[in-house]
Amino acid sequence: MLRIEQSLRDIRTLQAELAAIGVDMALSDLVGEDAVACISIPDLEYVEEQCILPDGGFYDGFTRQEVAFNEYRLRVIERLSRHYEGEVKAIADKWRELCGGEETPLPDNLQARRKSLADTADKLHGLIGDEPPALNGNDYRLLEGIARDPQAHITLPDGDYKRLKGMGLVIRGYRFPDTIRCDGLTGLGEKAMERYERKNGR
């Protein structure tokens, strides 16, 4: 089987997995020499173009990298789970703001909406468990610097921070002009480093 045929089968399998828990993913038709199919996920509309490349690889617009399907699937599901978790928190935060900062019980319709979003986030987590994303050498070095001395409050350029935060790997600290201080790694960030070290014999 050609690699591109396998990639198309893989992405349709992922599309079906997401549809089963109420998350939309759409595929376009052939779009030209640079891509076989474009991938659209409405809940991740802030992510730059995602597509299947002519060699069967997947272009991850968020990190602007070509990755294999297993890595692409992991990244998409992680971002979706964080999106839904953020929506759950936003409902409570907006209601508290409307109530003048007081802790007031959510009305039934918002409780139902919040539960539905939380259930979707849980189902997404269930699709991948705690598997960490693969790192390239540059991202590993950035995480290594943060892990070596969390009290040093390493600052990262916006682009690096957004990429690592989007992968769920770093804890945000304080924003400076054009940089963001990171106060440590998440548990997933630590596991991603361990995965890189095992793969590269470190």
Look at residue 152 and tell me whether its pLDDT is greater than 70: no
pLDDT at position 54 = 87
pLDDT at position 161 = 81
Give the pLDDT mean for 108-112: 92
Could you read off the pLDDT of 60-103 as tens digits, one per residue? Answer: 877 677 888 888 888 888 889 888 988 999 998 899 889 988 88
Sequence spans of domains, the chain: 3-72, 74-128, 137-200
pLDDT at position 11 = 94
Could you read off the pLDDT of 12-49 as tens digits, one per residue? Answer: 999 999 999 999 999 887 666 788 888 999 888 776 67
pLDDT at position 1 = 54
pLDDT at position 131 = 73
For residue 183, the 8-state DSSP code is E
pLDDT at position 32 = 65
Rounded to whole angstroms, the Cα distance separating 180 from 156 reads 5
Rounded to whole angstroms, the Cα distance separating 25 from 35 reads 17
pLDDT at position 47 = 67
